[in-house]
Structure 1
Amino acid sequence: MNQLYKKSIQAAAGLCLLWAAASCKKETEYAPSPYNRVESFSVAAGTETIRASIAGDSIVIYWPSHIPQPEKISPQVTVAENASVTPASGTAVDFRTGTAFTVKAQSGAEKKYFLKVVVNQPPIQVTELTYAAVKGGSLVVDNGTYMRYFERNAEVTKFYIVDDQNTATQLPLEFFNDHSGVPSMRISVPDVAELKAGAYRIRITSGAQTYNSQNKIFGIIHPASLKPKVNEVTAPVSVKQGGTITFQGTGFFEMQEARVFSYNADWSEKEVATLQLESSTASSVTYRIPANFPAGSYELGGWEANGIFIQLRISDFFGFWQWNKAQKNYIEVGGNTTFTVTQP
């Protein structure tokens, strides 16, 4: 009996062990994962990595305005463990709001996510320096320093010059990186009749942002080839106080007053008189001799005590121009002859 009892006990113990093992095995079985989340989403943009925010079913990318928006992106997408995403991570997709991604959980449950592109654009910033271009030419501006915080895309960003009548004229833009990799834009000034040389305010529009300069910081400059030329004076000149004097030349336009000056003993300039403009054609210009011009005999182009020099003021919009500091441009009246001023 004892032997039989012992065997019964052993059999019962074995059954218990088998039951316990079966119970443990059943407890370690897991149901398929139901998670279909996007954990992270990032896009390479040059040397930068832009990471999206996940909000509900939206994958929100705040795209920096200074980086051109690509047509396609190949995002790096991380999803919940044992889930999969379509299109797969690294696949090229359209970079636009509405592009869909489907995350499928291990359990088969699916969830769609939609790309939302938001241009992260602060107010446009412009350093109010002097910006000038020759008519028919162009100007290159650094977009990382002087004009920035707008989309570097000529379809989105527009550049205007604004005249005194508040008329805005759009100028063509081209965006590029220079040889050093600096983001830049080229502003072109077409050689058309309606664009006049002069100083203008600027207006830049880009996305939801608009910038208007307070000052006339953009200048359209005449080409150097248009600079007027005045003929040398070789014959003796005799004029009367209050009378007029006419100079001949070519290409006269936008003529202004003339100046008569001499030199002191230390070679500093000394103003003698200002000749007011009376009339002008393309080949001649006439000035009024002031009534208080000291009567006497002078040597035009002479360096002695009685020497005088005459310069005719032309347009301010030649050569070096500054918006906040007008520079007077002159052409020299050449020649070496007597210049006599008499009383009326």
Structure 2
Amino acid sequence: MDNLIQQSVIKKISIFPALFILLSIALLHSCKKEYTDVYETVYTDTVEVQGFNNIVSFAVPEPETDDMTYAAVKGDSILVYWPVWKAKPETISPEIALPIKASISPESGESVPFGDEVVYTVTSESGEQRIYTLKVTDQQPPFYFYQTGNNSVILGSTIYLNGDGFFGGLNTQVFLEEADGTRVYELPIPTFAVSTNTYSTTIPNTVDTALYRIKMVHGTRSGYVSDLFNGYDTLQVGYSPMNVARLNARLDVKRGETFTLSGSNIRFLQENTAIMYSTFESPIVYRPLVIESYTLTSITFRIPEDTPAGRYNYWGVKTIVAPVNGRIEEGFGSGTRNIYVTE
């Protein structure tokens, strides 16, 4: 009996640990939470902002036509080559093409001066800016010219320059450049004859005698006279003879006084060479005159104090002149005058 009770107690004692373990597992299992990760996809718009700030094209409408002149956009320059034979406007309203959503100031179609230094600013959609400068160049072909007529002229002569590549509306200047390069003279503004394609101008008396080359500045180009047609490319300029107007009326002058004679081409008078004389004397006696001053158009003489009173109907003075052949020579200018010297 005691053995049965003892075995029963042992069995009960051995069952308790097992029950404890089972209860613990059940308790732990009942307290466990499960977590699930939840991902939510949010869709948004992607905005692509352009950064192009270049000029695609730049076109200039030509006056009174439907034609366009297109510029070359190179680097930061807008290069317009304008033909010289077309009327050049003072202002233009260019048509400008840009990338999508880019802007420009001044705007396309806005009137601006047609010349250098006009500035355009292109702004891209992203706000990036680029500056362009307008540059205008007159597009002109080369020209050539030759002188018609002789290769030697005197002062006051008109010279004619014929050639090809001329455009009558262009600014034109003609120069005489001395062969050795020491002196340059600009001649009067030349006139243009469309029918003969010829420019003409004169050689003023302010030019010195020498051997010259003719230079022409025509628009944006320049060049020297060609020897292609007449065989020479230089021009010899000589002085016209001195001329003093005849004095028909009587001129009374006291000793020590001055008198003035008018004329033309008066130059290079030599000092102490002026004289006057009378053909009524026999033998003829040459009396000295004093050259007080002279210009191209007048001479002022003074009668010396010791000049005998009387009538003098001739006078003369030595000059140094350079005729057409270019050689420096001594000349003698003279004239008939009714000069009466009084006391």
Q: What TM-score comes out, normalization by structure 1 length?
A: 0.40
Computing the radius of gyration from Cα coordinates, the structure with the larger value is 2
Q: What TM-score comes out, normalization by structure 2 length?
A: 0.40
